[in-house]
Amino acid sequence: MASNLVSVEWLKEHLNDPSVRVVDCRFILGNPTAGYESYLEDHIQGAVYFDLEKDLSSPKQQHGGRHPLPDLSELAEKLGLAGIDQSTKVVAYDDQGGAMASRFWWLLQYMGHAQTFVLDGGYSLWKQNGGAGTVTKEISKPQAAHFEPKIQHDMVVTIDEVKAKIGKKGTVLIDSREDKRYLGIEEAVDPVAGHIPGALNYFWKGILDENGRWKEESELKDHFQKVLSQDEVIVYCGSGVTACPNILALKEAGYSHPKLYSGSWSDWCSYAENPVATGKEE
């Protein structure tokens, strides 16, 4: 099975390959300039920077969640300016356990670019093992290319589709937030605490080992064993970002077609009439 992850060792071997483009996705929620400032300080040689809120999301509205999907024609143009076209192998990294890099990975998969990967272990592991001369302050200026998106519409579901699927046999909803938010015990980000009725809680960091590396395929199969036999798996989180590492991990575990509810909880709870569940689901 082809993986959606690459190792530090693989990237070291291919760092100077002109068909490989490295993308820095570091971003700290609540401190929106910190990721770019970190990139300016140092980054993997040749990496270009993509910002979660400026590049990988569109502006927040009354509905649609805190990080709505970006305008795809604008993103395609930015990808072209970053030297990315259909022939490019793209490796994304962050220093947030893969959450931001997975959002970038998911968007490119959604736009039909299968040759997109996440760097296992992220920037911290790279700085430990990448080798001398592979970290720089120098800003890369790649030769522009033309990125032609081929949107995979079946990778995403709308709020109306989620409503129609609640309680449907063969469909499972996964909530990727930490348990206190899922259970409705506390909610520091969105105005309502709780979860979509029927959703199961798989906190996204459960896919990582104690060293912050992605778990092996067999461990991920065990982790998701309750849902791998389902006809349809729909994943959400707070705003459609940390659902993406769970989607990548599901694919690593062998589930080929997980779907994203991109608006996620922040969209769901923006409608006062939507039902809200608290506590554990059986």
pLDDT at residue number 130: 82
pLDDT at residue number 1: 41
Q: Over its length of 282 residues, how does the chain's per-residue pLDDT go in tens digits?
A: 469 999 999 999 999 999 999 999 999 998 999 999 999 999 999 999 999 999 999 999 999 999 999 999 999 999 999 999 999 999 999 999 999 999 999 999 999 999 999 999 999 999 999 877 899 999 999 999 999 999 999 999 999 999 999 999 999 999 999 999 999 999 989 999 999 999 999 999 999 999 999 999 999 999 999 999 999 999 999 999 999 999 999 999 999 999 999 999 999 999 999 999 999 886
pLDDT at residue number 118: 98
240: left (phi over 0), alpha (psi -120 to 50) or beta: left
pLDDT at residue number 2: 66
Q: Which helix (H) or strand (E) holds 74?
A: helix 72-81
Domain 153-268, CATH among 3.40.250.10, 3.30.200.210, 3.40.630.30, 3.40.50.720: 3.40.250.10
Domain spans of the chain, in order of start: 5-136, 153-268
Domain 5-136, CATH among 3.30.1020.10, 3.40.640.10, 3.40.250.10, 3.40.50.1820: 3.40.250.10
pLDDT at residue number 145: 97
**DSSP letters along 145-202, please?**
--------GGGEE-HHHHHHHTT-TTEEEEE-S-HHHHHTS--SSSSS-SB-TTPEE-
Q: For residue 237, indicate whether it is catalytic.
A: yes
Instruction: Note whether 83 and 144 are within 8 A (CB).
Output: yes
The secondary structure of residue 214, as a DSSP letter, is B
The secondary structure of residue 206, as a DSSP letter, is G
Instruction: Output the pTM of the full model.
Output: 0.97
Q: Which residues of 208-223 are buried (b: 16+ CB within 10 A; e: fewer)?
A: beeebbbbeeebbeeb
C-alpha span between 47 and 91 (Å, rounded): 9
116: left (phi over 0), alpha (psi -120 to 50) or beta: beta
pLDDT at residue number 282: 66
pLDDT at residue number 281: 85
**DSSP letters along 223-240, please?**
HTTTTTT-SEEEEE-SSS
Q: How far is CA 133 from the centre of its chain?
A: 29
Q: Which of 25, 237, 244, 269 is catalytic?
A: 237
